[in-house]
Structure 1
Amino acid sequence: MKYLCEYLPRIGIISVVLEGVYSVKVESVAERELTLQVVDEGTEDAHMTKIELPDKAIYNESVSQFKKGSQAEFVLRLNAKAADYTDKYDALIASSVEKWSKKDLLQYSGFSLRCKKCKHPVIDNSNCKKLNEMPSEFWMEFMDYWHCHKPTINDDKGNGVLLGKYNSLAPLKYEILVGGSYFLGVAETFQDRVEYDSDNLVCATCHNNLGQVTFEKLLRLHKWELLLETSDTSESFAPSNDILLSLLNQVSGTSGRHVLLRCKDVQLLVWTFAIDVGATLTDGKVLINAMKLLYTDDDDEIEIVRRRQNIDEIQTLPVPFYSFMNELRSSTELLPSICRRMNFWEVGYLQLSSGIEFL
């Protein structure tokens, strides 16, 4: 049996789709627990199954019953018990950057960010005297709102050019800038902790790749290559969060819902269909404030979509790209077959913080 419970807060409906059963009957709904009497295909024996719903539901026995669909699936619709819908986008953005953010790290009396492979310390109290959040990914585009006149100088041709100090970020020594999926600092901050050249940034002990050197000669350390250790916890950062944050930033900064992800010669077109749904998948995992993502890697279909509309492109790194793609496809495989596709699009569900694990 495969199932999907999808909560759509904008319309206050929880839909339950079951596949691979001969018959099904609702026994009870206790807020977030759905109890079913199920007869599997090929058997005559009924058994009880409990499914955790993604939100509280109201059960009306006279109208809330399973109906059989065109592909032998069973569908149930329940009214959600939640109050009036409020847009969760701002809350989702806030929670998405909470992990390993300035606010998150400062709550600890002490912390250490270490190389994921050898546990060599990379950032701790001795080389991090100040933490600051990175501005929005689109901070330069928003300068029109900050200044009546942008700070420029004339180049050789008399054209106004943005002053260099306003065109880049320059943290001080022992100051760390915190982005959604990376840390940024000057080379002196990481002396004897990392090694780098024009192309590589690696751990000074085990030479595991930790990040990149930016155009401004700053060191950019990927969160997914580090471990956060405190007095009572140790946790890692899911590489796929890098892609999910990029998709959210695209919606926030440009209202772009279609994004073409590129990783070398591989491309994946993603449609951010919804960003505030709840879902329970066949493996029992409950996703809260999840993203419903439609995607395709079919080159012909991608070209058709590109001819119809403008699509933003994002160049991605291999580790987060393949982590994101594998998690997305795994979620698709857990869905009933009727829920897996919308026309040529494949359907998947991901929760931004789902890959952050306590070790």
Structure 2
Amino acid sequence: MAGTPTIFLHAELLPNIRQLTLHVSLPNSASEIDIRESTITLSESCRAVTVFTLHQDVELVETLKLPVKVTDASRRNLSFAGHRVDIGGTESKAQTAEYSFRLQVDPNDAGLTFTNKGFQEDDYVPWTASDMSTCAALHCKFCKQMIVDVASKPDTSSWQWKDLPSGNWAEMMDFWHCHKPDVHPDDKEGQKDIEAQNASVKGYGASNRVVATPRTGLVDVASFLVAESDCQNIKVLEQRPTSTSAKPASHDGKNARNIGCSGCSAIIGTEDSVAEGLRLYKNNIVVKHTGATEHVYETHSIDIITSSRFLDLIDHEGVRRFVIHAGQSNGILLWAFNPDLRYSSSSADHSIVSRRAMKVLYQNATDVERILEPENGVPTPLSLEELFLPENIYDELVLSLRRSNLLMPISARIFREWNVALLDRIEKRP
């Protein structure tokens, strides 16, 4: 027996142009819907829309809370006449009639100030050092085996959490040393002594590097750097063969060995020979906070952690296109099309609260090596960043992108040769 038809609503806010796009998907072809009996109305507060239609004498009603308040004048634009969207001629697509509306955002909405911040100003990193101040333990995401017991050994020095600097901080220091202002010849010797002292104290000298220290957790955008002596219930996993066209993660020119959970053998991190420690992937770790009940763990989705990595690379490297792979010849070519937008959706797995996300365009890449290292005579992509992910994290990301693509309106799933998806972003309210 066929399920009851439903109305699907999807709204996206573009804060830079102060417009909101509303998609309305009505069930089955337009011939089975009496558009004259269908209405779309804006609430009195201008923060929600309600769609009513008749489908085979069955009344269908759906309400969606908008990501932002729109102007009262938008009511005049909410009419199905003239807003039909062409979604193609395949049989499955023909079962849906889609309509699209452009609504103006109310400039006096207080919420617009928050959503209109540039992503550089936001704290988009999940689990910063301040967030981890109440951490009691790190556990395996899959079997909840304890990996790092922060609250243990009360008789020794207390545990500390520290944020790691930007990934390109060393390059920035080299640039500064090469392009610093000239010093008067009479002051050069004294300047050298001052620079040597600063390099030693402030840690940006050539001989300085980040090293994992016992009882200290260093927080990166997508990982925790900890000393091996602080970890338990872990084991070194055998390296699986990888394609010659794509190299796995390596440190100091050596392939890093994967670290797995001794309970379920899932990959939870990797060795870092340069930092003399272990990097635990945030995506495969859950956090238990002080005072939490026995089975309460905090976790972040693959969307949150991946979008934070993209935002960090956009912020510090100025790139928006990425080649993502798991050490195999195939991968994903991804374009961070819009790093910051808000959306709301009436799909079953979404709440009525609007969500913050980044819109990405992606397509399958069958030959990663050819994209990263093109043949002679083929232009080299300058603004393209390689991103290696462990196999289980890569598979989870691919699944998340495909799931997001299917949850979007049919007319918005494809942009030229690209698939469209939304990756949720972390949002920390003040």
Change (3 A) 1:278 1:39: farther
Which has the higher mean CA deviation after the structures are superposed, 236-245 or 7-16? Answer: 236-245
Please tell me whether residue 52 in structure 1 is matched to residue 58 in structure 2.
Answer: no
Please tell me whether residue 165 in structure 1 is matched to residue 201 in structure 2.
Answer: no
Structure 1 counterpart of 2:269, from 197, 205, 211? 211
Residues in 2 aligned to 1:8 and 1:273: alpha-carbon distance in whole angstroms: 12
Deviation at 1:103, TM superposition (A): 0.8
Instruction: Trace 1:226-237 onto structure 2 (pairs within 5 A).
Output: 226-230=285-289, 231-232=291-292, 233-237=296-300
Please tell me whether residue 290 in structure 1 is matched to residue 357 in structure 2.
Answer: yes
Residues in 1 aligned to 2:417 and 2:367: alpha-carbon distance in whole angstroms: 11
Please tell me whether residue 279 in structure 1 is matched to residue 293 in structure 2.
Answer: no
Asked if the contact 1:241–1:320 (Cα under 8 Å) also holds between the matched residues in 2, the reply is no
Taking every aligned residue pair, what percent have the same amino acid on both sides? 21
> Residue 25 of structure 1 aligns with which residue?
39
Residues in 1 aligned to 2:215 and 2:179: alpha-carbon distance in whole angstroms: 32
Give the alignment's Cα RMSD to 1 decimal.
3.2
Residues in 1 aligned to 2:346 and 2:368: alpha-carbon distance in whole angstroms: 29
Residues in 2 aligned to 1:4 and 1:237: alpha-carbon distance in whole angstroms: 24
Which has the higher mean CA deviation after the structures are superposed, 234-243 or 219-228? Answer: 234-243
Deviation at 1:247, TM superposition (A): 1.4
Please tell me whether residue 343 in structure 1 is matched to residue 410 in structure 2.
Answer: no
Residues in 2 aligned to 1:145 and 1:214: alpha-carbon distance in whole angstroms: 25
- SS for the counterpart of 1:111 is strand
- SS for the counterpart of 1:142 is helix
Change (3 A) 1:70 1:62: closer
Instruction: Trace 1:144-293 onto structure 2 (pairs within 5 A).
Output: 144=174, 147=177, 165-166=207-208, 168-190=209-231, 192-196=232-236, 199-203=257-261, 207-216=265-274, 217-230=276-289, 231-232=291-292, 233-263=296-326, 264-283=328-347, 285=350, 287-293=354-360
Q: TM-score, normalised by structure 1?
A: 0.81
Please tell me whether residue 322 in structure 1 is matched to residue 395 in structure 2.
Answer: yes
Structure (1 or 2) with the larger CA radius of gyration: 2
| Greater share of residues in strand | 1
Asked if the contact 2:333–2:362 (Cα under 8 Å) also holds between the matched residues in 1, the reply is yes
Residues 281-312 of structure 1, C-alpha deviations (whole Å, 9 max, x = no match) = 34152553310000111549997998664322
> Residue 73 of structure 1 aligns with which residue?
98
Residues 232-251 of structure 1, C-alpha deviations (whole Å, 9 max, x = no match) = 34222324444322211221
- SS for the counterpart of 2:312 is helix
Residues in 1 aligned to 2:370 and 2:72: alpha-carbon distance in whole angstroms: 45
Deviation at 1:207, TM superposition (A): 5.0
Change (3 A) 1:206 1:26: closer
Equivalenced residues, count: 335
Change (3 A) 1:278 1:316: same
- SS for the counterpart of 2:333 is strand
Change (3 A) 1:280 1:180: same
Residues in 2 aligned to 1:270 and 1:9: alpha-carbon distance in whole angstroms: 23
Asked if the contact 2:329–2:366 (Cα under 8 Å) also holds between the matched residues in 1, the reply is no
Change (3 A) 1:25 1:304: farther
- SS for the counterpart of 1:57 is coil
Asked if the contact 1:53–1:280 (Cα under 8 Å) also holds between the matched residues in 2, the reply is yes
> Residue 357 of structure 1 aligns with which residue?
none
Asked if the contact 1:194–1:204 (Cα under 8 Å) also holds between the matched residues in 2, the reply is yes
Residues in 2 aligned to 1:300 and 1:195: alpha-carbon distance in whole angstroms: 32
Flag structure 2 segments of 5+ consecutive residues without an equivalent: 1-6, 28-32, 87-96, 181-191, 193-203, 238-255
Q: TM-score, normalised by structure 2?
A: 0.69
Change (3 A) 1:62 1:224: closer
Change (3 A) 1:54 1:181: same
Which has the higher mean CA deviation after the structures are superposed, 306-315 or 275-284? Answer: 306-315
> Residue 102 of structure 1 aligns with which residue?
129
Flag structure 1 segments of 5+ consecutive residues without an equivalent: 152-161, 355-359
Asked if the contact 2:331–2:367 (Cα under 8 Å) also holds between the matched residues in 1, the reply is no
